[in-house]
Amino acid sequence: MQTISTIDGLREIRREWQLAGKSIGFVPTMGNLHAGHLSLVEAAKEHADIVVVSIFVNPLQFGADEDLDNYPRTLEADSEHLSKLGVDVLFTPSVEAIYPRGLEQQTFVEVPGISYMICGASRPGHFRGVATIVSKLFNMVQPNSAFFGEKDYQQVQVIKAMVTDLSMNLSVHAIPTMRHNDGLAMSSRNGYLTEDERQIAPMIYQTIIRIREQIESGRRDFNQLINTENTLLAQSGFKPDYIEIRDAFTLQPASFEGKELVILIAAFLGKTRLIDNIQVTL
Ligand code: PAF
C-alpha cells in the first residue's frame, strides 16, 4: 500500500491507473477505523480494480461546540489494517492542502432541503461540510464508485443527491451497518463511552427495533410511538435528540400509507452523541 499526502502525488498515480484502464473504488473516512470501515473497503475491493481510502478529519463538518481537536487520530493502526486488507493507496492530505485559502474562504457545496432536517437541524452546517469535502475528494480521486456506511443514513442521502444534482460520474454504494454482538452500531464515537455508558448504549438499537416491530404490526400513531420511546430513553439515562420515522428516500415525515420507511435516532449518553437507523419495508 502506498501512502500519499499530496494532491499532485495522487493525481500522478491516478493518471497511471487511467492509462491502464483500471476502475477505482473510493472509501472516504476520518480514520479511527473499525470493522464497519473495513467492510466498506471489502465492498470497494469487490467492485473495483484499485481501492483508495482517504483519512482526513474534516474541520468544516464540526460545529463550534463539537470536539474537533479531540477526535481520535490513530493513523498508524489504521494504516496497518488497510495495508493488510490490500488497499492500494491511503490518501492522507493535510488541512492546508485541502483548504489552501482557509475555511472562511472555502467555496462550499450545499444540498438544500435534505441537509437541513433531522441531524442537519441539530448540527447546522454539518452536511455543508460533508458535501464540500466529499465533492473535493471526488475531484481529487475521480473514482468510479464510492462507499459509505448506512449508519450515517442521512449523509448517504445527501451525497446521493449531490452526485445527482452535480451530474457526477460515479456510483454511490451504501453498505449495511456493522454491529457489536449486543446490537450497538460500530462507530468511532463508541470509544468516548464510559464502561457504564457502554452497558446501556445498545438501548438505542433496541428502541428502533421495538419501533419497527410496532409499525410492522400495524401501528400508525407515529407521534405517540415516538413520545413513548423518547420517555423510555430519557428514563434510562439518555438525552434524546430525536427519534424520527421518515420516508426512506426523501426523508420527509412518513405518511400512513408509506411502504419504504426509515427509523432514525440520535441521543446523547453523557457527552457522546450516538446515532442509528433501521429501514422498514411494508
Ligand atoms: O462519514 C465520515 O466519516 C465523514 O463524514 C466523511 C464522509 C469521511 C466526510 O468527512
Burial of 209 (0-12, 13-18, 19+ CB in 10 A): middle
Sheet strands side by side (includes 24-29)? 2-4, 89-91, 50-55, 24-29, 145-149, 171-175
How many residues are listed for the chain in this entry?
Answer: 282
The band of 159, judged by pLDDT with boundaries at 50, 70 and 90, is: very high
Residue range 2-175, CATH number: 3.40.50.620
CATH 3.30.1300.10 domain range(s) in the chain? 188-277
Asked whether the predicted pLDDT for residue 173 surpasses 90, the reply is yes
The band of 249, judged by pLDDT with boundaries at 50, 70 and 90, is: very high
Which is nearest to 142 in space by CA: 274, 17, 276, 272? 17
Mutating to test ligand 1, I would choose from 29, 135, 141, 151 the residue with most ligand atoms within 8 A of its C-beta, which is 29
Average pLDDT over residues 173-180: 98
Mutating to test ligand 1, I would choose from 57, 128, 133, 177 the residue with most ligand atoms within 8 A of its C-beta, which is 133
The maximal CA–CA distance of the chain, rounded, in angstroms, is 60
Q: Tell me how far the alpha carbon of residue 178 lies from the centroid of ligand 1, in angstroms.
A: 16
pLDDT tens digits, residue range 38-61? Answer: 999 999 999 999 999 999 999 999
% of the chain surpassing 70 pLDDT:
100
**Which protein residue has the closest C-alpha to ligand 1 atom 5?**
130
- The H helix count followed by the E strand count for the chain is 11, 9
The band of 274, judged by pLDDT with boundaries at 50, 70 and 90, is: very high
| pLDDT given at position 120 | 98
- Nearest ligand 1 atom to the CA of 57 is 10
The band of 161, judged by pLDDT with boundaries at 50, 70 and 90, is: very high
| pLDDT given at position 258 | 93
The band of 67, judged by pLDDT with boundaries at 50, 70 and 90, is: confident
pLDDT tens digits, residue range 255-268? Answer: 999 999 999 999 99
Mean pLDDT of the chain: 97
Average pLDDT over residues 75-79: 98
pLDDT tens digits, residue range 2-26? Answer: 999 999 999 999 999 999 999 999 9
DSSP H/E element including 171? strand 171-175
Tell me the HSE value of 67 on the side-chain side, using a 13 A CA sphere.
9
- Quickly tell me which residue has 405518511 as its cell: 255
Burial of 231 (0-12, 13-18, 19+ CB in 10 A): exposed
Q: Model-level pTM greater than 0.85? A: yes
- Nearest ligand 1 atom to the CA of 188 is 3
Residues in the ligand 1 pocket, defined by CB under 6 Å: 28-30, 58, 61, 130, 133-134, 152, 155
| pLDDT given at position 180 | 98
Mutating to test ligand 1, I would choose from 109, 126, 152 the residue with most ligand atoms within 8 A of its C-beta, which is 152
188-277 is a CATH 3.40.50.10320 domain: no
**Which protein residue has the closest C-alpha to ligand 1 atom 3?**
29
CATH 3.40.50.620 domain range(s) in the chain? 2-175
